[in-house]
Structure 1
């Protein structure tokens, strides 16, 4: 459809406004960037916000079946924090009842309620019983069925690797869909660093222009002095309103609830979409600058520690003067589908990320090492940088075919992912003084050095091909898929010369069988796998230089899903094994194995006229199954509590007032191969929203009290001797006006 001059002028105005919004920070990009913080204002949706949902199918860029009619408003489920519908890779837009894996689909309301910029990414994601919090406002790490993940393992609009390990801009996200368990065959392959998607897939969908115009301005206050301003503009235009534009921007500055921890943020994003009877396109792009001062929350236990340390005050800073992490970068994502016959279409998904850490002054190995039982630690700094560029391209076809009474939904796709990762060669640490976690007293003798020179350290290229056939026959569904990819990893020295090259490949199947005895019941069994890249054997082994294949993570799952009176219940038993490399008679072999076995229960929906509920509970036994010399066989994996879960409830008194609360629990967890055990903890979050009018302006006031009881606790991360200190009680206030 042709756009009018008025519509073109509107788009130009959005771009001009965006440039003005970020100009002061962008102008200083090379000197002192003013980066973007993660988070969405913690306000529930106003009536206008409920209407700003994407037009029918226009937002679902990863669903491979085009509809004849578009641009009719689809009323999604807004009553709760979790919905039945989501986007699941090659399966497209699906009801959770029709997906033979454990899923959790979080709504925009959940992101708004728990995604304040003072909180880490896992504040939102831990609504899923598969996900456990291990992050901070500095690093968006979390654990997915016991495996470490971060921003690089997320998918954005179906494209992997577009976020970094640094905190994520959640205010641009409209929904989050989680598929638990390894699954390379469901959505293609990406490149990650310091994490993987072995625990499952998390796909974030950006906000699209809704059916009604939106002009929203939001003010926030959180922590001690952290203020924020958010602008959200969206319009649909064209003869049939088949074009949409949504511009989102933020500025955040101030101190969190942690003494001396400061965030400075500036970002702008725009989402453009178009949909008609034969095609749909979505383009998302943006620029962000992000700085966190004094953000350290990682700790390690030194050899002088003889008992597990009691938790120090979470509101206290343990950062030295000059600790600063600052980045800037931009990204763009394109999704396009084109119908070329009644039942078939082709699609393209592509993305590009460029990000630079122009300042990264952190403790040695990003963590404070506790030296003894008295809580003493040495102030040591290191200056590093991880500039990176990531690209992704996927193309394929999808459609339907019949064989007798069976209907096949077929997808064939090929993809390619690149990541160039930089770093500092031969970085050194600097001793600055001493400190104590219990007294909070730091004796700092000097400021840390800040200069560094970074170069390319590695280049990774992954080329893959995937095929999925989902067969429906009466009450049965059979899914058969296969994924193959090859990976090439080149490592570089300071001079820019390649020091090692690793080429590897592997193939994984995806199999599932589901039976629906009634339209509200599903029973399924499934098998899925994940792998990343291979590795080269080091010089200390007899087989030095040998290329070991990618280590596979495999899951078998059996589950049942049941829907009744607006509530969806799910129960799954899972068994995950992951191969790893161990030394065997002075050879490095892929002969090791970890195992995660457990059960997961979830329920979500409207349990009464004014009450909605989302609850989940996971039991998991994660152990070392096969280790070097059998020394650690049967020993629990670090940071894996047997039990964890959450209960989230919302009470809507009327159209104007609602209140919500969440209880999160994690059981005790071992660290250092069962040498110590961190105690369990329970955290309470409370919130409320009130909708009114200021004159003629619809306004929503929001209040969220995170960690309401101000619980101090340790979180244990998987492997590497990592403790993460909790985020203290934080009051977040918001005021959103629809102008």
Structure 2
């Protein structure tokens, strides 16, 4: 009998291995293939031999932890203690010289967040610049970024390029400040910070959660979140499926449908760990909202922003964005010995997009506007890879955690741009839309082929008493880019770019005690250099990648139940402009200086807080030519003050009931570089509640949220030195959901 039980267990183990193998192979076949690492754990000190050497002392073997081990969270469960700091790996927030916040899956679920914008709303250093469901954007420390520069499990190029849904995410990590040394150059020149998606994997307990949601307009969404662990926890599977019908969303006349399937697999052995994430996304947005742009002269003549209805629409009927995204990421690491770990990562993404959008240009102060159209069909592909090694050596009394990594991201863009005719005039106060003629489709032609590759090395030096950490590192980044122009379907010309840059980073952390640390850093971000346009004296000159530089100091306090970070920073971001003597050069510069205060935790049982405040002084320090008169002015679209505070309270008299509220404030922001036209300050008030109970032995959670309770819809300003663009904020919305755990 005993022997038959053993055979049965062996049979199940073999069957499970085959099933997981089939899932992996199926993912490789359907999505595409490639990887990135599970970060190495902290290792013990090495024996002091008075010189650089590996430890010879015999140590107890390190027990391998599963990839899916739940993240250590801070009191209250809203923020994770650890974050992925690029090639440094997973680190506690007190141990790194950077300002980083990691929002947990629990917070995402309780706030009923549907997109990354809903999650970043908890961080005062992040400003929402979203126009519609088809145009999500935000800024970090006053510099704009988009979904295209988001990392997936620490790797660029693999995350969905346009879709911003968060249903498959366990954590959202927000690192403020440049990170070229830590993670390499961002694909689309993000310099203010980086957002990293941490995907869901199976936890120690089986999960079967079905969630039905109605709201954010009239959208009805169904979601399945299911996970299992097999073979005594060695293998894990987590499946997320989401379906959203084509109903009107929170923007007038706009519909947003989505179908997504994501799968997270993980496995562990005695000395190795591995994970595999793959996903399929279909997203269709019809009749999206759009921005209003204006020329410098029009913006400078306006004395106030146009007064329009709260539900005004500047996206033309018949416009749309339809996309299909497939992504795949494998990560693995292997303990070479008790002190050194090697990792590898390979990933792939394929994005197919068909979009018809319109431009709404305000022509003059009387409200006359011009509508034009742009049709873009695009296939965007990326393949990412990374290999590295991390381990410990000792010199005298100093411990060194060394990391060496090499990475490469290959991008290829194929486009078809049908010509759209029928540009017409209308009024911003009462837009009248006319029909238009769309061009015929042609073949997809390659437009851009880029390779970004780099090698980075970093050393975390720790003193014997563990009170001082010094971070010294650098990365050599090479960018090879070839762009194509056509005459019909024949290549007319190509432009080749091949430049290299080095980005160092220095950091220091001094731990006054186990709960207080002081830190400072110097970091850089890289942006792709331009080519001097025709008509300038240096026409055709190719510029190397240019650098945004940051200096930052701060302090972190962990009071056990509540934690706070305060930081002060200055960032200088150069820009290309044509000088007075007609040379195209890095002759412009924007300087952003700021002070940030963030707070999170559970100061008393049942009371949780999350938020902070940011002061940001963003100015044009150096300009030339036609913009010289704007030197010293505040940068467009950047409010001086922004803040958010969320409070959640358990109601002790009603078991399972919690209520929450959140206040968000943004100060005025200038629309034009002359600083003569600005948006008004605005406050958003959100309210919510959730109730957990059992019904027929089935755990249920009902959540209800009202966003922008006071329905304060106001003009907001977009960022960019010559943008002169405004858009309407989102009005009052509500969301109601029921989750059942079977």
Question: Same fold per TM (> 0.5)?
Answer: yes
Q: SS of 1:378's equivalent?
A: strand
Q: Does 1:319 align with 2:293?
A: no
Question: How far apart, in 2, do the equivalents of 1:632 and 1:709 lie?
Answer: 36
- Label 1:311 to 1:351 Cα distance change in 2 as closer, same or farther (>3 A): farther
CA contact (8 A) 2:419 2:439 kept: no
2:632 matched to 1:634?
yes
Question: Using a 3 Å threshold, how does the CA distance of structure 1 residues 215 and 733 change in structure 2: closer, same or farther?
Answer: same
1:54 corresponding residue in structure 2: none
- Show the counterpart of 2:379: 387
Q: 1:641 to 1:76 in 2, by over 3 A?
A: closer
Q: Is the 8 A contact 2:421 2:436 kept in 1?
A: no
Distance change (3 Å), C-alpha of 1:555 and 1:498: same
Mapped partners of 1:385, 1:722: distance in 2: 25
Q: TM-score, normalised by structure 2?
A: 0.88
Q: What SS does the aligned partner of 1:508 have?
A: strand
Give 3-state SS (helix, strand or coil) of 1:557's partner. Answer: strand
| Aligned-pair Cα RMSD in Å | 2.7
Q: Is the 8 A contact 2:185 2:526 kept in 1?
A: no
CA distance in 2, matches of 1:314, 1:266: 30
- Residue aligned with 1:251, SS: strand
1:16-55 → structure 2 map (5 Å cutoff): none
Is 1:709 equivalent to 2:710 in the alignment?
A: yes
Structure 2 counterpart of 1:502: 497
The reply on whether 1:246 has 2:238 as its aligned counterpart is yes
Q: 1:7 aligns with which of 10, 16, 23?
A: 16
Greater Cα offset, 59-68 or 270-279 = 59-68
Q: Which moved more, 1:2-11 or 1:466-475?
A: 2-11
Secondary structure (helix, strand or coil) at the match of 1:122 reads helix
1:543 aligned residue? 538
Distance 2:14 2:41 in 1: 32
Equivalent residue in structure 2 for 1:457, among 444, 447, 450: 447
Partner residue, 1:370 = 362
Q: Match for residue 696 of structure 2?
A: 695
SS at match of 1:723: strand
Cα distance in structure 1, aligned partners of 2:728 and 2:443: 31
Instruction: Provide the rounded CA distance (Å) in 1 between the counterparts of 2:27 and 2:327.
Output: 15
| CA distance in structure 1 between the aligned counterparts of 2:696 and 2:102, rounded to whole angstroms | 37
Structure 2 residue 650 is matched with structure 1 residue 647: no
Cα deviation, residue 681, structure 1 = 0.8
Query: Using the alignment, how far apart are the partners of 2:480 and 2:37 within structure 1?
Result: 32
Q: For 1:4, what is the secondary structure of its paired residue? A: helix
Q: How many Å apart are 1:174 and its aligned residue?
A: 0.7
Pick the aligned partner of 1:738 from 721, 734, 741: 741
Contact 2:72 2:82 in 1 (8 A): no
Shift of 1:78: 7.0
Indicate conservation of the 8 Å contact 2:71/2:80, yes or no.
Answer: no
Matched length: 690
Aligned counterparts of 1:277 and 1:508: Cα–Cα separation in 2: 37
Distance between the aligned counterparts of 1:172 and 1:447, measured in 2? Answer: 39
Q: Is the 8 A contact 1:505 1:534 kept in 2?
A: no
Residue 430 of structure 1 aligns with which residue? 421
1:93 to 78, 81, 90: 90
Q: Describe the SS at the equivalent of 2:670.
A: strand
Is the deviation greater in 273-282 or in 108-117?
108-117
Structure 2: distance between partners of 1:489 and 1:416: 13
CA distance in 2, matches of 1:340, 1:498: 49
Gap change, CA 1:583 and 1:273, over 3 Å in 2? same
SS at match of 1:547: coil
Contact 1:60 1:87 in 2 (8 A): no
SS at match of 1:531: strand
Kept in 2, the 8 Å contact 1:234–1:244? The answer is yes
Partner residue of 2:81 out of 57, 80, 84 = 84
> How far did residue 13 of structure 1 move?
10
Shift in CA distance, 113/431, structure 1 to aligned 2, threshold 3 Å = farther
Structure-to-structure mapping, 1:615-694, within 5 angstroms: 615-629=611-625, 630-654=628-652, 656-673=656-673, 674-694=675-695
For 1:283, what is the secondary structure of its paired residue? strand
| Aligned-residue offset at 1:60 | 8.5
Query: 1:84-483 counterparts in 2 under 5 A?
Result: 84-114=81-111, 116-117=113-114, 120-135=115-130, 136-164=132-160, 166-192=162-188, 196-238=189-231, 240-253=232-245, 254-302=247-295, 304=298, 306-310=302-306, 312-357=308-353, 359-364=354-359, 368-424=360-416, 428-431=419-422, 435-439=426-430, 442-446=432-436, 451=441, 453-473=443-463, 474=465, 475-483=467-475
For residue 596 of structure 2, the aligned residue among 597, 600, 618 is: 600
Runs (5+) with no aligned partner, structure 2: 1-9, 44-61
Matched residue of 2:273: which SS? strand
How big is the shift at 1:642? 0.7
Larger Rg: 2
Following the alignment from structure 1 to structure 2, what is the Cα–Cα distance between the partners of residues 3 and 437? 67
Decide whether the 8 Å contact of 1:191 with 1:460 is kept in 2: no
| Distance change (3 Å), C-alpha of 1:546 and 1:2 | farther
User: 1:555 offset after TM fit, Å?
Assistant: 0.3
TM-superposition CA deviations, 1:568-624 (whole Å, max 9, x none): 111111010112223232221223221111111111111111111112111111111
> Could you say what secondary structure the match of 1:387 adopts?
strand
Q: State the Cα distance separating 1:139 from its structure 2 match.
A: 1.9
User: Is the contact made by 1:349 and 1:393 (CA closer than 8 Å) also made in structure 2?
Assistant: yes
Cα offset for 1:513?
1.4
Does the aligned pair in 2 maintain the 1:174–1:205 contact within 8 Å? Answer: yes
Q: Residue 623 of structure 1 contacts residue 635 of structure 1 at CA under 8 Å; is this kept in 2? A: yes
Per the alignment, do residues 729 and 374 of structure 1 end up closer, same or farther by CA in structure 2, a change over 3 Å counting?
farther
User: Offset of 1:424 from its aligned partner?
Assistant: 4.0
Quote the Cα distance in structure 2 between the aligned partners of 1:436 and 1:664.
32
The answer on whether the counterparts of 1:553 and 1:579 sit within 8 Å (CA) in structure 2 is yes
3-state SS of 1:442 partner:
coil
Name the stretch that deviates more: 85-94 or 158-167: 158-167
Cα distance in 2 for partners of 1:648, 1:17 equals 43
1:588 aligns to 2:597 (yes or no): no
1:512-527 → structure 2 map (5 Å cutoff): 512-527=507-522
TM-score by length of 1: 0.88
Change over 3 Å in CA distance of 1:378–1:546 after alignment to 2 = closer
2:39 is matched with which residue: 62, 75, 97? 62
Q: Is the 8 A contact 1:378 1:434 kept in 2?
A: yes
CA distance in 1, matches of 2:344, 2:664: 39
Deviation at 1:451, TM superposition (A): 4.2
Instruction: Give the CA deviation at 1:486.
Output: 0.9
The separation in 2 between residues aligned to 1:12 and 1:524, in whole angstroms, is 46
Residues 10-51 of structure 1: CA deviation (Å, up to 9, x unaligned): 6599899999xxx9xx9xxxxxxxxxxxxxxxxxxxxxxxxx
- Contact 2:38/2:343 (CA < 8 Å) preserved in 1? no
* Paired residues of 1:189 and 1:415 also in contact (CA < 8 A): no
